[in-house]
A and B are shown apart, each in its own frame.
Chain A
Amino acid sequence: MSKENVLRVSDITMQFGGVVAVDDLSLEVNKGEIIGLIGPNGAGKTTAFNVITGVYAPTNGAVELNGEIIVENCPQGKMKTLYKGKNNGKYKDVKVLTPDKITKLGVARTFQNIRLFKGMSVFENVLVAMHMNLESGVFGAAFRSGKAKAEETAMREEAMRLLKMFGLEKNKDDLATSLPYGKQRHLEIARALATKPKLLLLDEPAAGMNPQESAELMHLVEKIRDEFDLSVLMIEHHMQVVMGICERIYVLDYGALIAQGNPEEIQNNPRVIEAYLGVDE
């Protein structure tokens, strides 16, 4: 059975000067999969997300989305001497799409330290994420042309549908930051879904949740995957969540991939146990 590939990260190295945050990372996400990315604090997980979404240009390596290269880079300028990876010369092109372009191509994300739009209502937060597909120009939108009105109505209906799905419809007009923590995390996911992604990147969606809430979150993620027909790559520290829903798991330590496999393999992998115990003590 051959699976349709959605995301392919190849030999990504991300250096901040001499600091190697991500070290030769390669990973794949296929259609419909829920994949875990775990590792101790500071392992480079969030940095990997930032490279995939175009926030940072990697020092070296490439990222493909549905077979199309969205990010590619090789060491430039002073990074030529600072580069500590092993793939010098393998990548030649320089192509780094800006985050909004990558989002438009179908990658949506949430943030580890929630980044909702503070001064806007819950409803508006979701509406913003649909702005990129607006066809009306500024004048059409400002003067409420027929087309703009129709588009606005459609956006509002869609946003309402998403809010209902996450049980946020009653908080519609509240300020996003006035929501309790758990609901803010839900709103971030709803907002990400509003961009109509093919790939959803979740950065610690269960952080700060109690076991019951994280169990609910697990079902929610599975439900989203099925209903929106997308793939999920998720960073998570709650092992119960990761082991419960991820088909495959990648483990990072000091930026490098130390293990990959299904939950059972990962749980019994001595290097993983060592990396985690080494940190916990």
Chain B
Amino acid sequence: MTELTKRNKSILSVIVCAVFLAAVYIGDMLVPPTSGMRMLFTVLEKGSVYALVAVSMNLLNGFTGLFSLGQAGFMLIGAYIYAIFSIPTAMRDSVYQYFEGGLIKFSVTENLGNALGTVMGDFGVMLGEHIGMIFLMLCAGILTAGVAALIGLPVLRLKSDYLAIATLGFAEILRAFFQWKAAGPITNSSNLLRSYTTYETPLFPVIAAGLCIAFIVLLINSSYGRAFKAIRDDEIAAEAMGVNLFKHKQMSFIISSFFAGLGGALLAMFQSSVASTPFTSNMTYEILLIVVIGGIGSVTGSIIGAYLFVACSEWWLRGLDSGAFLGISAGFMRPGFRKVVFAVIIMCIVLFYSRGIMGNKEFSWEGLVGFFKRIFSGKKKTSEKNHKTNTDKEKEAR
């Protein structure tokens, strides 16, 4: 086998990324808005957002071993912060119609767009808006991280199961708060926030999520990532090796929440309207599902899982609800049937791939080459056997 050098591998990765982004850009321009293939871009956009949120949850649950279920709550904060501060002034009266136009009377994206627009014309408007969007996304992340830091103080001292309950409860309280009448002038209570600035090309969420995930991967591969994994594997041993448990748990919790908040902002952009109702524990479970399907402790797995999950729920299985699927039509294909099929698929994955699609492995070029070689030389069976004995061994070790 020809060995890939480190340099060649990075060149290969860069080329693949560039080709992919170019394909997305060109595809987006070529595919007309009416075409069924637009679904591809919907999946790509939403999938990227979910991938980021799933990876951030994996950082906490899969790499630090903290079973937290506050993801939807953190996304909610991020989504609202983004939306609230980017609704154009002119639209505020209609959006906040029950709250006299709301308390906040400015839009970060609009103001920046106008400011740069006066200097540089149309390009300036676009540039200013994008700077505003990025700025607000970062703000969303930072504020979410701040909230996480505050709840982390008491919550992270709890043992794992209690942590899950506490974070779940916190997320529900947060949702109730955003729907609260008295907070209406800011959050618009249970009414939609809409008309805010969003991105125009699917490249935006793909690149934004990609950069964030890249940061998380770099973090996991650093000394801090090793400390996180040590805590996951054995808290007592980690502490005996000098790892400050609380500090590192807090760090992982805050970073994970930062990206959940940022992911929430991206989701707000993708949906182009936001209400607090969908940010329930159900959403957290969806993300948890992605993490489990992809493989707890695998970033690659979470990414693959996210795209598969979104593609299934938004696209491939839609036919099951509308009565026609792969040319078959039957009476039992009524709205809701999709969920049944989906549940069965998930059960199969959990039963036959109990460690998820990727286990705790990551993507590598060698792995990919090996994968295709196995398929073509028909040696798949032996490799599966190996895999089984390995997992068996691990089970014994536990």
Contact = CB atoms under 8 A, between A and B. Distances in A.
A165 B237 CA distance: 22
Given A103-B242, A142-B215, A127 B223 contact: yes
Interface string B223-260: 11011011011101111111111000001000100000
Given A129-B242, A142-B215, A177-B394, A117 B234 contact: yes
B396 to A, nearest CB: 10
Interface string B142-158: 00000000000000000
Interface in B178-234: 215, 218-219, 222-224, 226-227, 229-230, 232-234
Given A117-B229, A129-B241, A129-B242, A55 B223 contact: no
A278 interface: no
B251 A138 contact: yes
Contacts of B219: 138, 141-142
Nearest to A191: B241
A120 interface: yes
Contact of A100 (B229, B239, B255, B397): B239
A151 to B, nearest CB: 8
A148 B323 CA distance: 58
Interface stretch (A12-20, A36-44, A108-116, A211-219): A108-116
B301 to A, nearest CB: 14
Contact of B218 (A115, A132, A142): A142
A178 interface: yes
B230 A55 contact: no
A144 B218 contact: yes
Contacts of A133: 242
Interface in A124-154: 124, 127-134, 136, 138, 141-144, 148, 151-152
B237 A116 contact: yes
Contacts of B6: none
Contact of B243 (A120, A124, A128): A128
B297 interface: yes
B42 interface: no
B385 interface: no
Contacts of A99: 236, 239-240
B81 to A, nearest CB: 22
Contacts of B159: none
Given A119-B360, A143-B218, A132 B241 contact: yes
A136 to B, nearest CB: 8
A141 B360 CA distance: 22
A115 B393 contact: no
Contacts of A152: 222-223
A127 B245 contact: no
A271 interface: no
Nearest to A126: B241
Interface string A84-117: 0000000000000011100110001101000111
B223 A100 contact: no
Interface residues of A, number: 42
A120 B222 contact: no
Contacts of A178: 393, 397
A138 B233 CA distance: 21
A53 interface: yes
A178 B222 CA distance: 23
Contacts of A124: 226, 229
A98 B239 contact: yes
B241 A128 contact: yes
A127 B234 contact: no
A118 interface: yes
Contact of A132 (B215, B242, B393, B397): B242
A108 B360 CA distance: 30
A108 B240 CA distance: 7
A178 B244 CA distance: 27
Contacts of B379: none
A66 B289 CA distance: 51
Contacts of B398: 118
Nearest to A99: B239
Contacts of A104: 242
Nearest to A105: B242
A78 to B, nearest CB: 22
B242 A100 contact: yes
A191 B243 CA distance: 13
A155 interface: yes
Given A117-B234, A142-B219, A131 B229 contact: no
Contacts of A127: 223, 226
Contacts of A55: 236, 239-240
Interface in A157-190: 175, 177-178
Contacts of A130: 223
A59 interface: no
A142 B222 contact: yes
A191 B223 CA distance: 15
B242 A111 contact: no
Nearest to B251: A138
Given A104-B242, A128-B230, A141 B236 contact: no
Contact of A117 (B233, B297, B394): B233
Given A99-B236, A131-B224, 4 more contacts: A98-B244, A100-B242, A128-B229, A142-B218
List 3 tightest A-B contacts by C-beta distance, closest first. Answer: A132-B242, A141-B222, A117-B233
Interface of A: 53, 55, 98-100, 103-104, 108-109, 111, 115-120, 124, 127-134, 136, 138, 141-144, 148, 151-152, 155, 175, 177-178, 191-192, 194-195
27 contacts: A53-B240, A55-B239, A99-B236, A100-B239, A100-B242, A109-B240, A115-B234, A115-B237, A117-B229, A120-B226, A124-B226, A127-B226, A128-B227, A128-B229, A128-B230, A128-B243, A132-B242, A136-B223, A138-B251, A138-B255, A141-B222, A141-B224, A142-B222, A143-B218, A148-B223, A175-B394, A195-B242
